[in-house]
Structure 1
Amino acid sequence: MRNIGSLIVFAALVAIAASSGATFMPGEWYAALNKPAWTPPNWIFPVAWTILYIMIAIAGWLAWKAAGFTHAMVVWGLALILNALWSYIMFGQHEISLAFLELAGLWIAIVLFIVMAWRIDPRASWLFVPYLAWVTFAGALNFAIWQLN
């Protein structure tokens, strides 16, 4: 039961961070922006993020279960905060350039977690690899939107 309870805590923490994306939606402002031709359709984003958020929760839980509260967990939490902040900066404040810089910080936090968690539980690191790939793509998209607008 302890394992299920702690997994629920990690899922709740991720859900709180994910709520930023539900609070700060793209809306009309984003729809009016110039975007590159390779911008995915809008329906892709919630599907991708749902899968990624599940993986993020499990990765954090695995690392915590294996070693407790470590520096890797601090970085995991920082990544969660940065993830939540991006939606606020981009869609809440309409700050495309600042959102890109913030996303660069998120990218670094993800890489740091992958490296730190590898020694703790490699499965946690592997679960963050799709997150890194998606944030890399999101960063390229954010940068392209910034340049086009």
Structure 2
Amino acid sequence: MKKLYLFILFLVINFGALALGNYFMGDAVSGEWYKDLNKAPWTPPGWVFGATWTLIMICFSVYLSFLFSIRNSKYVVFVYALACVLNVSWNYIFFNQHLIQLGFVNIILLTLVILYFFISFCDDTLSKLKYLLLPYIIWLCIAISLNGYILFNN
């Protein structure tokens, strides 16, 4: 029952963070600035972002529900909060403020935090569940390549 409660809690927090990030993004995706950027040829269509983030946040919420039922400490809360702040702030930094370089650093830091989850919190119970983080890690690598392409080609 505790894991179900935590799963629902993390779904609310994670999707809330996505909504907040989307709010901070404003209308940048449909605006002139983004349209005029030299984007990577492998930039996916817009609908892919929503579908991918939905999958990522469901998997991440399952992982977190197990992690927090086993290791609920101030340190784990801090690492998770850091991931949330980095995730939300990227939208504001990149899309709203047009700070491509800082956005690039931000997305790399977020990737390192999620990799830290993958590597550091893998005791016996989480050893297989950590693979729920792979969609997040893969997507962040794609995001780094997209952000990097814009940074180095504009």
TM-score for both structures, normalised by structure 2: 0.87
Map residues 102-113 of structure 1 onto 2, 5 A cutoff.
102-113=106-117
Residue segments in structure 2 that go unaligned for 5+ positions in a row: none
Offset, 1:70: 5.7
Tell me whether 36-45 or 62-71 shows the greater mean CA deviation: 62-71
Identity across aligned pairs (percent)?
Answer: 30
- Equivalent in the alignment of 1:75: 79
- Equivalent in the alignment of 2:151: 146
Question: What is the alpha-carbon distance in structure 1 between the residues aligned to residue 2 and residue 117 of structure 2?
Answer: 24
- Equivalent in the alignment of 2:105: 101
Question: What is the alpha-carbon distance in structure 1 between the residues aligned to residue 126 and residue 3 of structure 2?
Answer: 16
TM-score for both structures, normalised by structure 1: 0.90
Question: What is the alpha-carbon distance in structure 2 between the residues aligned to residue 144 and residue 68 of structure 1?
Answer: 38
Tell me whether 17-26 or 105-114 shows the greater mean CA deviation: 17-26
Residue segments in structure 1 that go unaligned for 5+ positions in a row: none
Offset, 1:75: 1.8
Offset, 1:32: 1.9
Question: What is the alpha-carbon distance in structure 1 between the residues aligned to residue 129 and residue 14 of structure 2?
Answer: 15
4+ residue runs over 4 A deviation: none
- Equivalent in the alignment of 2:43: 39
State the number of aligned residues.
Answer: 149
Map residues 21-36 of structure 1 onto 2, 5 A cutoff.
21-23=21-23, 24-25=25-26, 26-28=29-31, 29-36=33-40
Q: What's the C-alpha RMSD, in Å, of the aligned pairs?
A: 1.7
Contact in 1 for aligned 2:21/2:87 (Cα 8 Å): no
Question: What is the alpha-carbon distance in structure 2 between the residues aligned to residue 2 and residue 65 of structure 1?
Answer: 7
Contact in 2 for aligned 1:63/1:73 (Cα 8 Å): no
Offset, 1:122: 2.1
Contact in 2 for aligned 1:56/1:128 (Cα 8 Å): yes
